[in-house]
Amino acid sequence: MVRVLTEPKNALVKQFQALFGMENAELGFTEAALRTIAERAMDKDTGARALRSVLEEVMLDIMYELPDQPVGSRYLLTEEVAAGRERLVPLPAEPKTKTA
């Protein structure tokens, strides 16, 4: 199921990353998050179709909030977010390095 999420040309992970890209934001997934999404989909007993519903459920709040987020926001979907224990929030901004 994790391979279905990530490997095909039109994989769900790639689709959500493209949606975030349209809002000038980045989205990453941890391996543990992908496994958790796959496990939750398996629990629904509807096969790979459940992957979309689980992922949409996890992403629902942030998808509404994303257009209002600062340009260049970065997100990392973790196991805790995938399990529904935490919300997906922007990562702290990377510190700007000074060049001499």
Q: At 9, which CATH number?
A: 1.10.8.60
CA atoms within 13 A on the CB side of 82: 22
pLDDT at position 99: 56
Residues of the chain with pLDDT under 50: none
Domain hosting 59: range is: 2-82
Could you tell me if residue 34 is inside a domain? yes
Could you tell me if residue 58 is inside a domain? yes
Instruction: Provide the number of structural domains found in the chain.
Output: 1
Closest CA to 4 of 45, 46, 36, 49: 49
Is the pTM higher than 0.95? The answer reads no
